[in-house]
Amino acid sequence: MDTPIINILLLVTDGERPIDWSDHTSLRVWQDKECMPPALQLDIIVSDSPQLPRDALADSRLQDRTQFGLILVGCQSAEFAADVHLPADATSREMQLACQLLGALVQQRRLQRHRAGEFQMLEQWALQDPLTGLPNRRAWDQQVQQLSSTSAPLSQPVCLVILDLDKLKDANDTRGHDAGDAVLLAAASGLRSALRASDFAARWGGDEFALLLLNVPPQHAHAIVERIRAATDRQINEQTDQPVTLSAGLVSIAAGTPFQAESYWQQADAALFHAKQSGGHCSVEHSSSGWQTK
């Protein structure tokens, strides 16, 4: 396996300082950052003056201090935390060894950050609906699990909502699945615009969306859901010109009540079924006094 090249920027006030790099082909030394290729990934700066690295960091390529190591030779800096300090009389061999070890460490850390970023991206993709960009059913399940993981009563009221697109199948059948996808995208956009930062919306699957509205007083929940539903309806109409609307089923859970996810989902789903049976394009609340329709 080829030895990785370690790119070193040498910033020294003593231009006559004899440093022999010739016996280490893995070390590539640049005497001037202006000579460095634009896409070069620098690994180490070696300097005998704190001022020179400070000036070099004005370069946009060097502003991320976590991406390279710093070796100071015969000096200290209160501004920069050097990774390695060498005495002013350090030999070429000591300089080379320090660069090799620090360069390998910098490259390893960079690789670890890259892999962590990739893992985070994969995690995000696993919880995101690829079409709408909303959280998917798996993300919804995680969010609900957080609320129901303890039997302790809720500290604030919660409204659980299931939304279903009316006549989406007709749009798919008459104008193709691209038209249906456009409706789903418009619905997601409408929900994002209508919801608060504290609310949670997910594409639960197919033509259904699910919402968790936090800290919504039960007496106002139905009116709030109807406003969200109507606003999303308008967004669909404006963006797609399709005769597709939304139906909503909701259940409101008061503060001081344990969150029983499966039970409340069934209640909201029953309310949604009632809305669909009533012709759609409305919201129905499940309550102890019966179905409430808006």
Tokens 């003056």 found at:
49
pLDDT number for residue 55 = 76
Residue 1 belongs to some domain of the structure: no
How far out from the chain centre does Cα 161 lie? 24
From the candidates 48, 166, 207, 269, which is the catalytic residue? Answer: 207
What is the extent of the structural domain holding 167? 137-293
Cα–Cα distance measured from residue 207 to residue 188, given in angstroms and rounded to the nearest whole number: 11
- 282 and 147, same domain (yes or no): yes
pLDDT in tens, the chain (294 residues): 567 888 888 888 866 555 666 556 788 888 877 777 878 888 988 888 878 877 777 776 676 767 888 888 888 777 777 888 899 888 888 888 889 899 889 888 888 888 877 777 777 778 899 899 999 999 999 999 888 877 778 889 999 999 999 988 888 888 888 889 999 999 999 999 999 999 999 999 889 999 999 999 999 999 999 999 999 999 999 999 888 999 999 999 999 998 888 999 999 999 999 999 999 999 999 987 777 777
Cα–Cα distance measured from residue 98 to residue 48, given in angstroms and rounded to the nearest whole number: 15
- 144 and 286, same domain (yes or no): yes
Q: Which two tokens stand for residue 134?
A: 């909303």
- 165 and 79, same domain (yes or no): no
Measured from the Cβ of residue 279, the count of other Cβ atoms closer than 10 Å reads 9
DSSP state of 3: P
Is residue 185 within 8 A of residue 132, CB to CB? The reply is yes
Give 220-272 pLDDT, tens digit per residue.
999 999 999 999 999 999 999 888 999 999 999 999 998 888 999 999 999 99
Q: What is the tally of structural domains in the chain?
A: 2
Domain final residue, candidates 73, 94, 125? 125
- 143 and 77, same domain (yes or no): no
Cα–Cα distance measured from residue 246 to residue 207, given in angstroms and rounded to the nearest whole number: 10
Name the residue type at position 269. Answer: D
Q: Which residues pair with 208 in a beta bridge?
A: 164, 205
Residues contacting 131, CB < 8 A, separation 6+: 181, 184, 185, 203
Residue 130 belongs to some domain of the structure: no
Is residue 284 within 8 A of residue 293, CB to CB? The reply is yes
Q: What is the CATH number of the domain that holds 234?
A: 3.30.70.270
Question: Residues for the chain: how many in total?
Answer: 294
181 is catalytic: no
Residues contacting 160, CB < 8 A, separation 6+: 210, 211, 212, 250, 251, 253, 264, 265, 268
**Residue among 201, 181, 176 nearest 191 (CA):** 201
Q: Is 10 helix (H, G, I), strand (E, B) or coil?
A: strand
Residue 131 belongs to some domain of the structure: no
Measured from the Cβ of residue 103, the count of other Cβ atoms closer than 10 Å reads 22
Domain final residue, candidates 73, 96, 125? 125
- 113 and 160, same domain (yes or no): no
Residue 151 belongs to some domain of the structure: yes
- 114 and 143, same domain (yes or no): no
Within 143-271, strands assigned E span 158-166, 200-205, 208-214, 245-253
